[in-house]
Structure 1
Amino acid sequence: MRQPVDVDPGPDPVDARLAARLGELRAERGWSLGELAERSGVSRSTLSRAERGEISPTAALLNRLCHVYGRTMSRLLGEVESEPASLVPADAQSVWEDRASGFVRRSVSPPHPALRGELVEARLAAGADLAYDRPPVPGLEQHIWLLDGALTVTVADLDHPLAPGDCLRLRVWGPTRFRCPADRGARYLLAVVLP
């Protein structure tokens, strides 16, 4: 009986397109890696590795870059997808995962340049603790509707514990944090509206 052979599938195509787009955004502005490092607070080596596709960026890293480039994470991820469609079947919705934090993000309604709103389905693993030091776009409007599990969202040092069915509405100007208890994850719908 033959033993199965593990074959490396190679780099993830979304990660490869994301790496290329990150390099394009920096080049469009004429910034060196050093200038981007200063603006984002991310080391030059990490930025270089992300642009070359040597690492898959974490949600926190993408958030910092989105802030510097003035776009939401959904918009950035939407820019690496093919042309946006009006109808996106469930099996064609873009999924991105930050394995380090246990965060999985599905673009239910992908962003479009002519529209300000989008829907995202998010999943956090039990015990996940995801912190953003700033919003990708200051004043970003968010509606967080918890579908399953337990989630605490911290905004301006104020904790908002959510139970299934609860919805938190906010405008994001500063740091935010999403935490799940050690024994329960969370699945929530995030509505994002540009200011």
Structure 2
Amino acid sequence: MAKTSYQLYQQRLIAKRKKLGFSLQTLAERSGVSKSIISKIELAQVQPSIQTASRIAEGLGCSLSDMFQSEQVGEVIFHPVDQQFTFKNDTHTKKIISPTIKSACLEIFHEHLDVGETLEDLINLDADKFILALDHELSVKTESTEHTMSKGDCLYLDSKVTHSIKNLSQFQVSFITTIHRKNHP
């Protein structure tokens, strides 16, 4: 039976924390996530939100996608759908669809946002972002502009630009985000 995305995240969290020799307290300090929450995630008592999982990954010195790095080595890495981690909350779904390797600085996400909902840029990463609208209308608002995107439209955002994404349609909207990390090891 295939492991769930949360089980994969939990196992990789434990393995990476132990490999780095971090105590729960050390990881809590580095990530800004409480020791109690990290412990509950490791014990599979709670499922992390997208923001919490990302903060923990950053505390471990890696990206969210790195938490699902394939065990395979080589130039071709297959990332089967049952190993593509999916975060869900009431209004937003984010799936890591790209396979990852240590030297990669690119992450690809397939996201869904419910009708009328807004997604704020919560995590400040040193990364450029591309957004590709797959269906319906969405709005990307920055401090100075607002862009209405339709199916097939693509937008680039420099790492210094904070933004929000809003679903303008009467249907759940789907889009691809691609993150390019500038200072990835």
Change over 3 Å in CA distance of 1:70–1:155 after alignment to 2? farther
Does the alignment pair 1:94 with 2:81?
Answer: no
What 5-or-longer segments of structure 2 have no aligned partner? none
Q: Deviations over 1:23-63 (max 9, x none)?
A: 23333343332333233222222111112222221111112
What 5-or-longer segments of structure 1 have no aligned partner? 1-8
Question: Which residue of structure 1 aligns with residue 170 of structure 2?
Answer: 183
Does the alignment pair 1:60 with 2:60?
Answer: no
- Further displaced range: 115-124 or 84-93: 84-93
TM-score when normalising by structure 1 = 0.72
Q: Which of residues 148, 153, 158 in structure 1 aligns to 2:140?
A: 153
Q: 1:89-128 residue pairs with structure 2 within 5 A?
A: 94-107=84-97, 109-128=98-117
Question: Would you say the 8 A contact 1:150–1:184 is kept in 2?
Answer: no
Runs of 4 or more, structure 1, over 6 Å off, are none
Does the alignment pair 1:21 with 2:12?
Answer: yes
Change over 3 Å in CA distance of 1:40–1:158 after alignment to 2? farther
Q: Give the secondary-structure state (helix, strand or coil) at the position aligned to 1:111.
A: coil
Distance 2:177 2:108 in 1: 6
Report the residue type matching 2:89 in the other structure: R
Report the residue type matching 2:180 in the other structure: V
Shift of 1:194: 2.3
Number of residue pairs the alignment of both structures matches: 181
Q: Percent identity?
A: 22
Change over 3 Å in CA distance of 1:30–1:175 after alignment to 2? farther
Shift of 1:19: 0.8
Distance 1:48 1:182 in 2: 39
Distance 2:165 2:133 in 1: 12
Q: Give the secondary-structure state (helix, strand or coil) at the position aligned to 2:158.
A: strand
Distance 2:142 2:156 in 1: 11
